Chains A and B, each alone.
Chain A
Amino acid sequence: MNAAVLTEPAAAAGQWRQCWLRLRRHRAAVVALGVLGLVVLAALVVPLVSPYDFATPDWDELYHPPDASHWLGTDALGRDLFVRVMWGCRISLLVGIAASLVSVLIGVVWGATAGYSGGKTDSLMMRSVDILYTVPFIPLVIVLTVLFGRSFLLVFVAIGAVSWLDIARIVRGQTLSLKNREFVEAARALGLSNTRMIFRHVVPNLLGVVIIYATLTVPTVILFEAFLSFLGLGVHAPLASLGTLVSDGANHMKSHPYLLTVPAVFLTLIVCCFSYLGDGLRDALDPREQR
């Protein structure tokens, strides 16, 4: 104990190592991580090595059923579905991860500041979170995307701005319980500035919770983007996210069901894996909440 406290970097490394070991015991999370890795790898590599392009129509190959030349068939414009789905994975993952980072950033800064400041600042900041909770965001985002056209950036910002509320609340709660701990008091006694206190001493101790919630935010963001794309408000054609592909597939499902099922399977797979990974991380990083 004493030695571990004295050599802090080593202790920190040990803590992460322990988390990794605990995570590895969580079989579902390990499988999820592996599957995610495969999907990411495929999404990166397949469009590079495939002879087909995601955008160029091939009028001789419309609705080509899955076979050796087109592994997952072609769509209504003769475009290779495998390549399109892999591009869809790229875009969905990119949107999911980038927007989650945005929301985590806003949420952590907001929550940590509110929790650490306390008093009037805290109640004002959290009251505004309460108000934002009751704003019907789905309609507002729809209005935004309709008004400003379908911009890729807007989708990022809109989703990121919507999903930081939960993280802000959780981070604030954790900060409240952290700020009266001895090490924070010791740091305060050393005369550190508030900003330094928040970002050097409070935020690093929140890392575990933040990682868990970031992992769990990614699937919700991916689903939200897919939702927008399904309504025709997502990314531009010919580029397609998984949501657009599902939406296209739904239009052709009566004659060619694979156009719906293939992107649907990939979407589900990605979202499922992130959920399992989040569960595993929760057990690994937060041993108090063992269920």
Chain B
Amino acid sequence: MTVLNFLGRRLMIAVPTLLVIATLAFGLLHATPGGPFDSAKQIPPEIKHSIEAKYHLDEPLWRQYLRYLNDLAHGDLGPSFQYRNTSVNELIRAGLPVDAVVGSLALLAALLTGGVVGTVAALRRNGPWDHVPMFFAVLGISVPVFVTGPLLILVFAVRLHWLPSGDWRGGEIRYLILPVTALALPYTAYIARMVRGAAIEVFTSPFIRTARAKGLPTRIVVLRHALRPVLMPLVSFLGPAFAGVLTGSIIIESVFGLPGIGRYFLTGAINRDYTLVVGITVLYGVLIILFNLLADLCYAWLDPRVRLQS
């Protein structure tokens, strides 16, 4: 199957998937009683009516749905209900870069540390250089971000006063260190375990034995022969992981007070901001599909034995 063919078939699955996601989110929000404008304050009925007319909430549901899908197809996620005069697109444009910066820095850090630790553990298998880091790896996977985040703040901000406990300030490095560390820890642990497993398998395979038998130094064996097959499982992990970093950063944002999209999502869900919630859910779906696709392409490019299948 050619690459174009593959891309075409994947897109054909992606569109109905997104439709399912949008419909699910839209349907859930509209199916339950209560609307965005009938909570706290008592608004005179005629004003409420005109507000609802402005957002087309007075139309029958199927017309709202079709209108939404039509806007969606044009890349317009609609106006936000709770942030007056702001569109969901604008909110996403403001929030997504924050998540992207924190997320990619965290994954990069995790990749470097996890890769090195995992390789060393595999080379020193069953020694202290294996057992101690792997114990911390299990710990790292088990301790959730909403525990490590506050603990990091407690130690480095409250007690030691080395770093600020939160806020964004346009992405100043001092403000980045703690959230990136907290987000990176579980991924580091996961990558370390994965690299260790893959490296052990690769190091014991015949082609590495041949390379060693030729008398190549360990450095060359690791870098030139073993690195690529060890990286393989990481590639398929990183695609979903990157999407997960972006979608799962809700906690990090609320712990460190970052202005990312997760925060908008949470307040949107609580205040019944229909368009904001559906919009961000669809965005998450797009990201997941996109990064899975990228991972599959990288995988096929790295390993010629893999054939692209949809």
A residues neighboring B (CB under 8 Å)? 127, 130-131, 134-136, 138-140, 142-144, 146-148, 219, 223, 226-227, 230-231, 243, 246-247, 249-250, 253-254, 257, 260-261, 264, 267-268, 271-272, 275-276, 291
Contact = CB atoms under 8 A, between A and B. Distances in A.
Nearest to A148: B32
B240 to A, nearest CB: 9
Interface residues of B, number: 45
Contacts of B151: 260-261, 264
A17 to B, nearest CB: 27
A276 B288 contact: no
Contacts of A246: 146-147, 150
Contact of A253 (B139, B150, B197, B270): B150
Interface string B243-274: 00001101100110000000001100110000
- In this complex, the member of A146, A219, A226, A227 whose beta carbon has the largest number of chain B beta carbons within 10 angstroms is A146
Given A138-B247, A219-B142, A267-B144, 15 more contacts: A131-B13, A134-B288, A136-B288, A138-B248, A139-B247, A140-B25, A146-B270, A147-B29, A227-B146, A230-B144, A250-B150, A253-B154, A264-B147, A268-B142, A272-B142
Contact of A143 (B138, B248, B281): B281
Contacts of A223: 144
Contact of A142 (B16, B21, B24, B266): B266
A73 to B, nearest CB: 16
Nearest to B244: A138
A252 to B, nearest CB: 10
A254 B158 contact: yes
B292 interface: yes
Contact of A147 (B14, B28, B254, B292): B28
A271 B142 contact: yes
A229 to B, nearest CB: 9
Most chain A Cβ neighbours within 10 Å, of B265, B269, B292: B269
A271 B17 CA distance: 33
5 contacts: A135-B24, A136-B247, A139-B269, A254-B154, A267-B144
- Chain B contact residues, majority secondary structure: helix
B285 interface: yes
Contact of A146 (B143, B269, B288): B269
Contacts of A231: 250-251, 254, 266
Contact of B28 (A136, A144, A247): A144
A161 to B, nearest CB: 12
B106 interface: no
A135 B141 contact: no
Contacts of A130: 13
Contacts of B280: 139
A230 B150 CA distance: 12
B284 interface: yes
B289 interface: yes
A231 B153 CA distance: 18
